[in-house]
A and B are shown apart, each in its own frame.
Chain A
Amino acid sequence: MQANLYALVAVAVVALITAVIGGFGIRFARTTSDVLVAARTVNPRWNAAAISGEYLSAASFLGIAGLVLKEGADALWYPVGFTAGFLALLLFVAAPLRRSGAYSLPDFAELRLGSAEVRRVATGLVVVIGWFYLVPQLQAAGLTLSVLTGWANWIGACLIALIVITNVVFGGMRSITFMQAFQYWLKLTALAVPVFVLLLTQASQYTNARATAGAGAPPAFTENTTVRVDTDVVLQVTEPTQLTAVGGVDGAVDVDGTVYWGVGEHEVSEGTALTFPAKSAVPVVTGAPAHNDDWLRPLYGGAGDHPLFETYSLMLATFLGTMALPHVLVRFYTNSDGRAARISTLFVLGLLGVFYVFPTVSGLLARLYVPQLLVTGRTDAAVLLLPGAVLDSWPARLLGGLVVAGAFAAFLSTSSGLMVGVAGVLSTDVLHGRAKDFRLAALLAGLVPMAMAVTIPPIDIARAVGLAFAVAASSFCPLLVLGIWWRNLTDAGAVAGLIIGGGVSVAAVFGTLLGLAPGGWVGSVLGHPAAITVPLTFLTMVVVSKVTPKRVPSDVARVLARLHAPERLGLTPGPNPNRTGTVRRPADQDAVNRAGRHRR
C-alpha cells in the first residue's frame, strides 16, 4: 500500500501521544507562584467525550464499515445497537449506579447484595467479557498492520498487545479522562475527513455510482484488480467471468493463466492470486449477498438462516449489553453526581450519533470503490483502503495516514481501557491488591487475550464484539436492572442468574469463535445467543430470588434509598457550592483580590 510512510508516521505520533499523556499523567498545570486549582468537577461534556472515546473501539471504527460492505443493511443494526445501549443505560442505570458509589461491577454487586460469592462470580465474568472484547481489538490491529506492511496478522496483534501491556504496567494504569476525550475527537476526525473529501471529489460521479449501487447488478471492479486469497474460500459468481488465476482454483492445484467461470459457486484455495479485468462482476464470498439489490435490502445480508431471529437477538445483545461492559461503567464514576451522570450519558448519545454516520457512509463508498475485499471476505480493512482506492498520490496517502492513526487510536484506547479494567478487577479480587500485584494482573490481563487473538481464527470484528455484548447483556444487565429496581433480589438469585445465563452465553460464544457452529437454528442461536440467554437470566434471577426470600439483604431499604434519592437530600450544609475556582495569573492577583473570591 502506498500510504506506508504517512501511515507509519501517523501511527508513531498517536502512539507517542498516548504514551506521553498516559505515562506522565496530566500536565495541565503550570508552576506558578499562585494557587492553581484544577477543575472542581468534571464537566459532563468532557466525561461524555471520554466515555465515547473509550467506547469506540475497532468494531466501531473499522468493523461497521466492513460489515456494511459485506452484508448491507443488516449491518446497520450494529451502530444502532451500540448507541441504543447508552439509551438503555440512561433510562435504567445511569443515575442510580453513580449514586451507589460503586466503581466497578463487582463493587456494585457487593454493595447491593452484601455477598462475597456474588462478587467473585461477577469478577470472573468481568474478566471473561473483557477478554472477549479485547480479542477482536487485537485481531483488528493485526489486520491493520498487515494491510500497512504486509506482515502476518499475528505480528500486529502481539505488537499492540505488548504496547498496551507495557503502557498499562509502567504507566501505572492511569486512565486519563482528557486523553480519552482527545481520542474521541481524533477518531471522529479520522473518519469524517476522508468521507467528506471522498464525497466531495466523487460528487460528479454520484449519479453513476447510484446507478451501479441501485440496480440489480453485482458490485463491479473499477479497474484491473489483483486479489490474493489468504484462506480457502468459496465464491459465488453471478455473471460469467474471465479472469487470470495463479494457484489453486476449483480443485485444480496448479493453475496459471486464464480461467473461465460460469455462474455458480467456485472454490479458491489459499495463496491463490486472482486478477480480474475492469468492469467485471465481483464474485462475493458465500454467505454474503452477491447482488446489490439484496445487499441494499435488510434481512438478506446475514450469513445465518434465520435473519429475523438474528436481528432481534442482536438488538437485544447490543441494547442491553452496553450498560454491562466493564470499561463503560468505570467511567461513570468520574461524574460528580447522579444528575451529571444522566447529562453525561445524553451527551454520549449525541456524540455517538454524530460518529456513527461516517462508518455507514464509508461502507457504502467501499461497496463502490473497494469491492475486491468481498472476494476474501475479510472486509474489515475497507476503511483503510478506501482513500487509496478513490484518490491518488499525496491526498490518498495523507488521508490514508489519518485513517490509520484513527484506527490505532481506536485499538489503543479501548484496549488500554479494557486492560486496566480487567487488571483492576483481577488485582483487587483475585490477587488481593497490593501495589506490585497491579503489574502482575495487567500482565495476565493482556497476555491471555493476546494468546487467544493469535489462536482463534478471525471473524468479523463487529460480530466478535457483538458476541462480547451478548455475554454482558446476559449476565450483568439483569443484575444491574434487577438490583437497582427490584427490592427482593437475593444473592442466591444473582449468583444463579450470573452462572446460568453467563455460562450459557459464554459457551455459545466459544462455540461460535471456534467455528463449531453448524447451520440452521443451532448455528443461529450459537452466533446470536442473546435472545435466549437474556430472558433466561432474568427468569433465573427472579425465580431463585423468590424461592430464597430470607436472603434479601437486611439493608435493602437504605441502599435503595441511596441509589434513588436525589443528591440534595441528606446533605448537611458544606462549603458554599456557589464558589467557583479560577485560575489566577500573577498579574491579575490584585484584581482578583479586590473582586473577592466570595461572590455570594
Chain B
Amino acid sequence: MPPMSLSPPPKRVRVVLAERKRARRVVRTLAEVEEQTDVGEMLVRTHMRTQLGMSLLLALIVVAVLGALPLAFAYVPKLAEISVLGVRLPWLLLGFAVYPFMLGVGWVYVRLAERNEQSFIKLVEE
C-alpha cells in the first residue's frame, strides 16, 4: 500500500451506463440451437417412461405400507395394544421404524435412477 497521503483516499463514485438502450432480447428465439431430432425425442420419451415407472412403483410401495397402517389400526384394535420392547407397536412403527424404511426406499431409488441414467448416456453416446 502506498504511504498514506495527508488526506484520506477519495470516495468512489458509482457509475452506470446512463443511456439505457433497451437492447433487444435475442435470447428466446435464437439462443438455444438444440436440435431435437425425432430419434432424440423418442429416446427422451422412453427414458422418461422408465424413470416415471420406477418412481411410481416405489411411491406405491411406500403408500401401500404407510397407508395401510391407519386402516390396520382402525380395524384391528388389538394391534394397538401389542408392546415390543416396552413400547407400543404404533409408536414403534410410526415414531421410529418408518424413518429407516423411507431412507431405504430413497437409497434404492437413487441407485436405480443413476443406473437408468448411465444406460441412457451409453445409449445416446454410441
Whether the complex brings A and B within 8 Å at their CB atoms is answered yes
Is the beta-carbon distance between A76 and B94 smaller than 8 angstroms? yes
- Nearest B residue to A91 by beta-carbon distance? B55
CB contact list, A347-396 vs B, under 8 A: 349-350, 352-354, 356-357, 360-361, 364
B31-53 near A? 1/0 per residue, CB < 8 Å: 01010100011001001100110
| CB within 8 Å for A345 and B52 given contacts A76-B90, A91-B59, A315-B67 | no
Q: Would you call B48 and A560 a contact (CB within 8 A)?
A: yes
Smallest distance from the beta carbon of B80 to chain A beta carbons, Å? 5
Q: B71 at interface (Cβ–Cβ under 8 A)?
A: yes
Q: Does A541 contact B (CB under 8 A)?
A: no
Q: Does A308 contact B (CB under 8 A)?
A: yes
Look across to chain B and name the residue whose beta carbon is closest to the beta carbon of A360.
B95
Max chain A Cβ within 10 angstroms of own Cβ: one of B52, B69, B73, B95 = B95
Residues of chain B contacted by A229 (CB below 8 angstroms): none
B65 to chain A, nearest CB (A): 11
Cβ-based interface call for A297 (8 A):
yes
By a CB distance below 8 angstroms, the chain A residues around B69 are 298
* B110 in complex: contacting residue of A312, A346, A568, CB < 8 Å: A346
Q: Contact between B106 and A298 (Cβ–Cβ < 8 Å)? A: no
A40 within 8 A of B: no
- Distance between Cα atoms of A345 and B80 in the complex (Å): 32
Cβ–Cβ contact A311 & B95, under 8 A: no
A14-22, A50-58, A77-85, A136-144 - the one binding chain B: A77-85
Interface size of A by CB at 8 A reads 51
Instruction: Report whether A558 and B36 are in contact in the complex, using a CB–CB cutoff of 8 Å.
Output: yes
- Cα(A327)–Cα(B92), bound, Å: 31
Nearest Cβ on chain B to A353's Cβ, whole angstroms: 3
Q: How far is the CA of A79 from the CA of B91 in the complex (A)?
A: 12
Specify which of B34, B44, B91, B114 is in contact with A296 (CB 8 Å cutoff).
Answer: B91
Name B71's contact: one of A77, A95, A308, A354 (CB within 8 Å).
A308
A299 is contacted by which of B59, B74, B100, B103 (Cβ under 8 Å)?
B74
Q: A568 to B95: give the CA distance in the assembly, Å.
A: 40
Tell me the smallest distance from the CB of B81 to a CB of chain A, in Å: 8
List, in ascending order, chain B residues with CB within 8 A of A360's CB: 91, 95-96
Q: Which residues of B contact A311 (CB under 8 A)?
A: 70
Q: Are A350 and B51 in contact (CB under 8 A)?
A: no
Q: 1/0 contact trace for A537-572 toward B, CB 8 Å?
A: 000000000000000000001101100111011100
Does B67 contact A312, Cβ atoms closer than 8 Å?
Answer: yes
Evaluate whether A73 and B90 lie within 8 angstroms (CB atoms) in the complex, with A84-B66, A298-B70 already known.
Answer: yes
What's the nearest-Cβ distance from chain A to residue B83, in Å? 8
Judge whether A87 and B62 touch: CB under 8 Å: yes
| Chain A residue contacts of B110, Cβ below 8 A | 90, 342-343, 346
Cβ of A214: which chain B residues have Cβ within 8 Å of it? Answer: 83
Docked-complex contact A569 and B99, CB < 8 angstroms = no
Taking a contact as CB atoms under 8 Å apart, the answer to whether B90 and A312 are in contact is no
Q: Which residues of B contact A565 (CB under 8 A)?
A: 44, 47, 120
Contact with B along A232-269 (1 / 0, CB 8 A): 00000000000000000000000000000000000000
Docked complex: B94-126 residues within 8 A CB-CB of A: 94-96, 98-100, 102-103, 105-107, 109-110, 113-114, 117-118, 120-121, 124-125
A339 CA / B115 CA spacing, docked (Å) = 11
B86 within 8 A of A: yes
Residues from chain A with a CB closer than 8 A to the CB of B94 are 73, 76-77, 80, 298
Query: Which chain A residues in 294-320 approach chain B with CB under 8 Å?
Result: 296-299, 307-308, 311-312, 315
Across-interface contacts of B66 in A (CB, < 8 A): 80, 84, 315
Inside 8 A of A485's CB, which chain B residues have their CB?
48, 52
Closest residue of chain B to A345, judged by CB? B106
Q: A558's contact among B32, B102, B106, B113, by CB below 8 Å, is which?
A: B32
CB within 8 Å of B: which A319-350 residues: 339, 342-343, 345-346, 349-350
Q: Are A570 and B34 closer than 8 Å at their CB atoms?
A: yes
When the two chains form the complex, which single residue of A76, A87, A350 contacts B95, counting CB atoms closer than 8 Å? A76
Q: From the candidates A76, A79, A92, A364, name the one contacting B59 in the complex (CB within 8 A).
A: A92
- With contacts A76-B95, A343-B110, A569-B124 taken as known, whether A84 is within 8 angstroms of B47 at the C-beta atoms is no
List A contacts of B102 (CB < 8 A): 83-84, 87, 349, 353
Given contacts A298-B73, A357-B95, contact A566 B90 (CB under 8 A): no
Contact B91 A76 (CB under 8 A): yes
Given the complex, which residues of B lie within 8 Å of A568, measured CB to CB?
A: 121
Chain B residue contacts of A312, Cβ below 8 A:
67, 70
State whether A298 and B90 are in contact (beta carbons under 8 Å apart), knowing that A343-B110, A557-B44, A565-B44 are contacts in the complex: yes
Cross-chain contact B121 with A299 (CB below 8 angstroms): no
User: Provided the pairs A308-B71, A349-B102 are in contact, do residues A298 and B80 lie with their beta carbons within 8 angstroms?
Assistant: yes
Minimum C-beta distance from B116 to chain A (A): 9
> What residues on A are CB-neighbors of B114 within 8 Å?
339, 342
Q: Determine if B99 and A90 form an interchain contact, defined as CB atoms under 8 angstroms apart.
A: no
Q: How many angstroms between the C-alpha atoms of A565 and B120 in the bound complex?
A: 8
Q: Determine if B48 and A557 form an interchain contact, defined as CB atoms under 8 angstroms apart.
A: no
Q: Could you tell me if A564 and B36 are in contact, using CB atoms closer than 8 angstroms?
A: no
Contact B59 A353 (CB under 8 A): no
Query: Do A346 and B59 touch (CB < 8 A)?
Result: no
Inter-chain CA distance A229–B71, complex, in Å, is 37
Known: A83-B99, A308-B70, A315-B66. A346 touches B91 (CB 8 A): no
What is the bound-complex CA distance between A364 and B92, given in angstroms? 12
A342 partner residues in chain B, CB cutoff 8 A: 109-110, 113-114
The yes or no answer to A88 lying at the interface (CB within 8 A) is: yes
Most B CB contacts (10 A, CB to CB) among A95, A298, A345, A569 go to A298
Which B residues lie within 8 Å of A345 (CB)? 106
Question: Are the C-beta atoms of A564 and B47 separated by less than 8 Å?
Answer: yes
CB of A342, distance to nearest CB on chain B (Å):
5
Chain A residue nearest in CB terms to B118: A566
- Cα distance, A352 to B80, chains bound together (Å): 26
- Residues of B within 8 Å of A600, CB to CB, are none
In the bound complex, what is the Cα–Cα distance between A210 and B87 (angstroms)?
9
Give 4 nearest A-B pairs by CB, closest first.
A353-B99, A76-B94, A566-B117, A91-B55
A-B contact pairs, 24 of them (CB 8 A): A80-B66, A84-B66, A84-B102, A87-B106, A92-B59, A210-B86, A296-B88, A297-B73, A297-B80, A298-B69, A308-B70, A308-B74, A312-B67, A346-B107, A346-B110, A349-B103, A350-B103, A353-B103, A357-B96, A357-B99, A360-B96, A485-B52, A561-B34, A570-B34
Known pairs A73-B80, A214-B83, A298-B90 / 4 extra A-B pairs, C-beta < 8 Å: A83-B99, A315-B66, A353-B100, A564-B44
